[in-house]
Amino acid sequence: MITFYYGSGSPFAWRVWLALEHKQLAYDLREISFSSGDLKTPEYLRINPRGKVPTIEDDGFSLYESAAIVEYLEDQYPQSGVSLFPGDARSKAHIRRLVNEADLYLDAAGRKLVLAVLFTDKEQWDEDQIRAGREAVAVELSTFEDYLSGDYYGGELSAADLTIYPLVALMRRMAVRKPDLDVASLIGPKMSAWIQRIESLPYYSKTYPPHWKAK
Ligand X SMILES: N[C@@H](CCC(=O)N[C@@H](CS)C(=O)NCC(=O)O)C(=O)O
- The residue from 17, 22, 23, 54 that contacts ligand X (CB under 6 A) is 54
Is residue 140 within 8 A of residue 105, CB to CB? The reply is: yes
Would you count residue 38 as binding ligand X (CB under 6 A)? no
Taking CB under 6 A as the binding criterion, the range among 22-30, 64-72, 171-179, 186-194 that sits at the site for ligand X is: 64-72
User: Residue 92's Cα: distance from chain center in Å?
Assistant: 19
Nearer residue to ligand X within complex by CB, 65 or 156: 65
Site residues (CB under 6 A) for ligand X, limited to 113-132 = none
165/167 Cα distance (integer angstroms): 5
Would you count residue 70 as binding ligand X (CB under 6 A)? no
Would you count residue 133 as binding ligand X (CB under 6 A)? no
Is residue 183 within 8 A of residue 137, CB to CB? The reply is: yes
Would you count residue 51 as binding ligand X (CB under 6 A)? yes
HSE toward the beta carbon, residue 207, CA cutoff 13 A: 27
Nearer residue to ligand X within complex by CB, 51 or 81: 51
The angle formed by the CA atoms of residues 161, 38 and 34, to the nearest 5 degrees, is 50
Site residues (CB under 6 A) for ligand X, limited to 3-22 = 7, 10, 12
Taking CB under 6 A as the binding criterion, the range among 51-59, 87-95, 121-129, 176-184 that sits at the site for ligand X is: 51-59
Nearer residue to ligand X within complex by CB, 39 or 160: 39
Is residue 134 within 8 A of residue 181, CB to CB? The reply is: yes
132/200 Cα distance (integer angstroms): 33
Would you count residue 31 as binding ligand X (CB under 6 A)? no
Q: How far is the CB of 85 from ligand X (least distance, A)?
A: 17
3 state SS of 79: coil
Nearer residue to ligand X within complex by CB, 34 or 203: 34
Q: How far is the CB of 167 from ligand X (least distance, A)?
A: 10
Would you count residue 105 as binding ligand X (CB under 6 A)? no
Element (H, E) at 17: helix 11-22
187/144 Cα distance (integer angstroms): 9
Question: Which residues partner with 73 through β-bridges?
Answer: none
Binding site for ligand X (CB under 6 A): 7, 10, 12, 34, 39, 51-54, 65-67
